[in-house]
Structures are given as structure tokens and as C-alpha cells.
Amino acid sequence: MEKKEISVSGLTFVYPADEEGMPGQVVLRGLDLTIPAGEFVAVLGHNGSGKSTLAKHFNAILQPTEGDVVVCGINTKDEDRIFDIRQQVGMVFQNPDNQIVATIVEEDVAFALENLGVPPKEIRKRVDEALKAVDMYEYREHAPHQLSGGQKQRVAIAGILAMRPEFIILDEPTAMLDPQGRKEVLRTIKELNRDFGTTVVLITHYMDEAVQADRVVVIDDGKILRDGTPKEVFTQVEMLKSVGLDVPQVTELVYELRKEGIDLPLDILTEEECYEALKKLLETTPLTTSN
């Protein structure tokens, strides 16, 4: 049994030059990355940094110009096993409307399994499981257009989950959703990782989403800029700002306060942590007015 991981080595990708004489565009430049099974990884980067292009290499939608992508021991260049890879690495896209194929929720969840030629009884079982996992079971007979954006995106996740993939890649899954939908989808993603041990690769430019991951990979101009825990990455406020990324609001607050000479720990990422730190600070050093 091969090691369960996605390993990317020396990945370079160039969009080929087109006929009108536009030169080819280098999107990824010699990228190395390993994602072991079970992790919750967030990939951060501003628009055009190459993060979506990288994601499309994980399940052989794109082929590397140079270098290799190996999924569970299968190189994505192996044409004969392309569907083995796609079954192992599921992918969810930004627009929930454009990835639902069928007119009934449960039929859509069954789509991938039907393509894989799974026997009908087994499909039924897995579809029910997947719908329950994303908490959409009671909507199984609804039409997609009757659902909210967050619900549609959860159906799309169920459609991938039914394949029982080792990895789920989510390419900005919350970008088109309202705050409520974002919350739902993010909760679902976290539950999948925690309760089912599914490896999650979340591509996003929302910092508050990335904070919740085990590991954050920052990509800029086709290269990996930083790779570490959220605390390691988000404490480097200047570096993130220099590549056009934001930091979580509370981190920014703490950063600005520290600049003013107020003694606060730098690795504050969530509102609760910030609240606790500020409370402690106010209790120990009473506010003094300057006049």
C-alpha cells in the first residue's frame, strides 16, 4: 500500500502561448508540497497567485509542464489511472449552481457513483450516508433551485463525499455565499475533517477561514511563500501585507496595539483569544490617562 498523501515536486506550469502571439504565462514556478492524509490545509493567496491552478493539478485536470504530482502513489501523468485519482481527490468549486448536474438532490449526489459503475443498492447507501454527513438528508427530494447557496454547496460536497475520497479540494467554496451560507459550509468542512478524517484542502482568500485550518500554505507568484501553522503564518503581518493579503481582524488589532507599545502576545487569531488577552491586560495594568 502506497503512502496516502499528495506529493508535489518541482511543479512548474505554463499556460501555453496562444495563436495570436500572446506569450505563454508561467503560473507555477517549481513548487514543492506534501499533503499527508488527515490534514486540514488552507491554501492562501491573492487573485492570480496560482492557487487554483495548483488545485487543478491535484486531480489531474491539469498536467504539470515540469515536475510531478503523485497522489497515493499514482502519478497524475498516468492516463490509465486518471479516474482512480479523481475518485481519491474530489473537488468542489466556487459556484454551487454550476456543479450540480441533476434535477433532484439525491440524484446529483449519486452522479459520481453512477459514473463509477457502483451497483444501485450500494449507491443508495452511500448517497444517504453522504447526505446525512452534510446534514442535507431531509432535502434529498428537493430540486436544487429550491435551495439556498449554502445548501447547494453542501449538496455539491455530498456529491464528492459519496465517492469516499481520501482528499477533498475546495476551491473558494464560500466566495459566492452569504455569511450564513459561509458559516454552514465551513462548519461542514470542519466536521468532515474531524469526524470522518477526510483530508481537506481549502483554497480561500478569507483569513478567518484559513485560521481554522491545521496548516496554512501561502502562495504568491507561483511559489510557496510560507508553510506552517496558522499561528506561525499570521504572526508575520508585514510579510502577508507585502503580498497583498490581509490578516485576521483581531491579529491586525493586536499588531497595531503592539506598534503603540502595548504588551500583547502576537499569536492571537480568534476573537475569544483577543478578548481574553485584552481582559487580562486591562486587569493587570489599569488604564492611566496621560494628563
- Binding residues (CB under 8 A) for another protein: these are 59, 61, 83, 86-87, 90-91, 93, 95, 97-104, 106-107, 110-120, 123-124, 127, 143-145, 156, 159-160, 163
Residue placing its CB nearer to another protein in the complex, 45 or 165: 165
Smallest gap from Cβ 159 to another protein, in A, equals 7
Q: Which of 67, 42, 60, 79 is nearest to 201 (CA)?
A: 42
Residue placing its CB nearer to another protein in the complex, 11 or 112: 112
- Alpha-carbon Rg for the chain in angstroms: 21
Residue placing its CB nearer to another protein in the complex, 70 or 118: 118
Smallest gap from Cβ 136 to another protein, in A, equals 16
Alpha-helical regions (H) of 29-136: 51-58, 82-88, 105-116, 120-133
Alpha-helical regions (H) of 196-267: 207-210, 230-234, 237-242, 249-259
Residue placing its CB nearer to another protein in the complex, 6 or 100: 100
Angle in degrees, 0-180, between the axes of helices 149-161 and 120-133, rounded to the nearest 10:
140
Smallest gap from Cβ 275 to another protein, in A, equals 41
What CA–CA distance (Å, rounded) separates 221 from 213? 22
Residue placing its CB nearer to another protein in the complex, 100 or 207: 100
Alpha-helical regions (H) of 89-218: 105-116, 120-133, 149-161, 179-195, 207-210
Smallest gap from Cβ 113 to another protein, in A, equals 7
Residue placing its CB nearer to another protein in the complex, 105 or 240: 105
Smallest gap from Cβ 127 to another protein, in A, equals 7
User: Facing residues of 2 across strands?
Assistant: none
What CA–CA distance (Å, rounded) separates 103 from 273? 45
